[in-house]
Amino acid sequence: MHGKLDLRSDRGIAIAMVMLVGAVLVVLSSLMVARGFRQLVNTSNDVHWDNALFVAEAGLDDALHTLDYDFDFTTGQTIPDGTLGTDAERAWAVETADAATSDLVAVPEGEYVVVRPANSSVVFAVGYSPSREATDRRVRVIRAAIEGNPWEYQIEHALLVGGDIELSGNTTINDTNDNDGASVHSNGSVTGAGAYVVEGCVTSSESTFTATIACPPSPSPPEPMPVIDPLKMYPYAHYALCDDRVIYGGPTHPVTPDPDLIPCNGNETVTPLAGWTSSGTGGVVTWSAGPAAVESGVFYIDNGNYQGKLGTNTAPMLATLIASHGTGSTCQTPATGNIVFDGPSNVTVHPSLAAAGYDVVFVAQGDVMFAGSATVGGAILAHEQVDYRGGADSWGAVIGVDACDTVGSPISANTTTGTSYINYPGPLLTPFDASSLRVDVLGWYEL
């Protein structure tokens, strides 16, 4: 006897199986969604982790740039003794960066803080992504060991002053290589009147200029300046013009060289030099070169001034003129180390200095002032101020360090006036040290 087929029972089993399979699929789907969310979070965190390192590297670059201008720069903190090289180093850097208020710098990938302890030769760059205050922030810390080294100053501006400058009249500053690189910078303010033209950028550490496609905005960081020490150029001198109003052979004189490289100490030999005369007022000796002064050379004036002409309209004099202050760069009276040019003058750097790589015509430990038209083939460097006026026309950079202003010196401010030209041929070497140390990285590590 055959039994009956119970379709209702089979149907119940099928429904149960479908529900079981559905439940399994729901669980699997939930697991996949949860894993996807976790992967999304992990991916985001990985991006922040990578970005935090990029941000820290940007902070280190910023710190090194600042230290190149001012190696004594610190952020004021002191790192506890014995912290460097221990597990506490990273924690101290992060804690210090977290507490910084005005030193937080934002970049597209996050934010960074530079920490330069006052009692250490290291600098820290702490990078945060997406931000310092984010709850899911990632933090990377770079520590760099640094040292500061002196470097030979190279002129990279057509006109550079350490203080304020007034650009007036029809001054034209021209790049002779057609690169529009004849720039002007003042570590003070820049004011101007008239139709002056600069084939390059004008920047200032105090005045405000908007950025252009080719030029950065101002205020901009101060530029290093050369330390004008005429003694560094004395080894190149053919003649020493001393404050006893006598002319002696300098270190490079072909017949009567100075044997000890110390100017005007009594070991030199009196040497004739046609056309040069001196006068004394108030104990200060001023030298000048008359029409008969045709001898080329490097002329070193020790503890004195120069005022007069050099060369003629038709014949440039091959010469470099160096004027030193009797008390060095202290700017104490009396006012010496000044160069004042009457017009018309025409002088080009002496070939011996050009061969040494120094296209420098005038070096003054005081002021350089143009009292008339002059054509100058080489750089002009003054420890104090420069007054560039009249029909002045130079083929080299002009620098007024503006380190001080000696009472009784010819001028007290950096100015350009009249129809004057500065023709800049490109970067120029000097024999002088820079006013700042150049930072060298001994090594950097991520903590």
Task: Single out the residue in 92, 120, 149 at which a domain terminates.
Answer: 149
237 and 187 in one domain?
yes
Q: Tell me the average pLDDT of the chain.
A: 88
Residues 228-248: what's their mean pLDDT?
Answer: 96
* Residue 339 belongs to a domain: yes
Task: Single out the residue in 133, 149, 165 at which a domain terminates.
Answer: 149
Q: Which amino acid, one-letter code, is at 405?
A: D
pLDDT (0 to 100) of residue 12: 55
252 and 205 in one domain?
yes
Question: Computed over its alpha carbons, how large is the radius of gyration of the chain?
Answer: 34
137 and 215 in one domain?
no
The domain containing residue 374 runs over which residues? 153-433
Q: How far apart are CA 408 and CA 286, in angstroms?
A: 14
Are 322 and 337 contacting, i.e. CB atoms less than 8 angstroms apart?
Answer: no
Q: For residue range 384-414, what is the model confidence (pLDDT) as tens digits?
A: 999 998 778 888 999 999 999 999 999 999 9
Assigned token pair, 375: 């054509």
pLDDT (0 to 100) of residue 29: 53
* Residue 3 belongs to a domain: no
* Least confidently predicted of 67-76, 134-143, 405-414: 67-76
- Which residue do the tokens 């820079």 mark? 434
* Residue 343 belongs to a domain: yes
- Which residue do the tokens 């120094």 mark? 358
pLDDT (0 to 100) of residue 23: 53
422 and 291 in one domain?
yes
Residues 374-378: what's their mean pLDDT?
Answer: 91
Parallel, antiparallel, or unpaired: how do β-strands 184-186 and 202-204 relate?
parallel
Rounded to whole angstroms, what are the CA distances from 259 to 265, 273, 289, 296, 298?
A: 11, 19, 26, 21, 17
Question: Which of 305, 248, 310 has its CA nearest to residue 281?
Answer: 305
365 and 352 in one domain?
yes
Are 52 and 138 contacting, i.e. CB atoms less than 8 angstroms apart?
Answer: yes
Query: Above 60 in pLDDT, residue 32?
Result: no
Residues 78-82: what's their mean pLDDT?
Answer: 93
Task: Single out the residue in 114, 149, 184 at which a domain terminates.
Answer: 149
Band of pLDDT at residue 28, cut at 50, 70 and 90: very low
- Cis ω before 130 (30° cut-off from 0): yes
163 and 137 in one domain?
no
> Furthest-apart CA pair in the chain: how many Å?
151
162 and 142 in one domain?
no
59 and 182 in one domain?
no
* Residue 251 belongs to a domain: yes
Residues 232-240: what's their mean pLDDT?
Answer: 96
218 and 69 in one domain?
no
Q: For residue range 306-361, what is the model confidence (pLDDT) as tens digits?
A: 999 998 878 889 999 999 998 888 888 999 999 998 878 899 999 999 999 999 99
318 and 239 in one domain?
yes
In the beta sheet, which residues pair with residue 191? 166
pLDDT (0 to 100) of residue 359: 94
144 and 161 in one domain?
no
Assigned token pair, 412: 């007290």
297 and 276 in one domain?
yes
Q: For residue range 429-447, what is the model confidence (pLDDT) as tens digits?
A: 999 999 888 889 998 889 9
Q: For residue range 189-203, what is the model confidence (pLDDT) as tens digits?
A: 999 877 788 999 999
Q: Which residue has the higher pLDDT, 288 or 13?
A: 288
* Residue 427 belongs to a domain: yes
Query: How many structural domains comprise the chain?
Result: 2
Question: Which of 59, 51, 58 has its CA nearest to residue 116?
Answer: 59
* Residue 157 belongs to a domain: yes
* Residue 71 belongs to a domain: yes
* Residue 389 belongs to a domain: yes
Query: Above 90 in pLDDT, residue 282?
Result: no
